[in-house]
Amino acid sequence: MSDKIAVYPGSFDPVTNGHIDIIKRSSRIFSKVIVAILNNYEKVPLFTVEERIDLIRKALCTDKGIEITSFDGLLVDFAASVKARIIVRGLREVSDFEYEFQMALMNRRLNESIETVFMMPKAEYSYLSSSVIREIASLNGNIKGLVPENVREALLKTLNQK
């Protein structure tokens, strides 16, 4: 296991500027950041996992030290399989804390050698979430500046087709 490899897991349906901010901040600290999209068979996502991978890849101007992939099953098992000892999670506001605290402690119980670290996005992204973006976009609200431009275009296209 390496201290330099971090996994940044999530649903990313779709990726927001807040997520991109965390990916870029983590990639300045860790030598490799693996953005890992959960393949959640219980939920019907707006974008397929392949689309989400593609959207993140295109939104990042550089892929230096950043890998984008998907995973099934337990996050700690995935992290161990890619030799990562660090899980990165973004903390936007105090209300995130309870859920994140539970998840971090449960993940630690499942695998003591994996540590969760929290990072704060830019304050201007602290109220952003993928679900809010999906809702605003579906109601024709303006999401400019909140998601990467390629994501905004993909949202308009996908929602217009529905």
Q: Give me the active site residues, please.
A: 19, 43, 92, 130
Structural tokens at position 140:
């024709």
Would you say 127 and 162 are in contact if contact means Cβ atoms under 8 Å apart? no
Residue 65 burial by Cβ neighbours in a 10 Å radius (0-12, 13-18, 19+) = middle
Number of H-type helices and E-type strands within the chain:
6, 5
Tell me which residues touch ligand PNS (CB under 6 A): 9-11, 38, 74-75, 103, 106-107
C-alpha 97 chain-centroid distance:
16
- By C-beta, is 76 or 143 nearer to ligand PNS? 76
Could you tell me the smallest distance in angstroms from the CB atom of residue 108 to ligand PNS?
A: 10
- By C-beta, is 37 or 66 nearer to ligand PNS? 37
Could you tell me the smallest distance in angstroms from the CB atom of residue 45 to ligand PNS?
A: 10
| Closest CB to ligand PNS: residue number | 10
SS3 39: coil
Q: How far apart are CA 53 and CA 38, in angstroms?
A: 11
Q: How far apart are CA 5 and CA 84, in angstroms?
A: 5
Could you tell me the smallest distance in angstroms from the CB atom of residue 160 to ligand PNS?
A: 25
- By C-beta, is 10 or 65 nearer to ligand PNS? 10
Could you tell me the smallest distance in angstroms from the CB atom of residue 107 to ligand PNS?
A: 5
Residue where the block lists tokens 């999906």: 134
- By C-beta, is 64 or 130 nearer to ligand PNS? 130
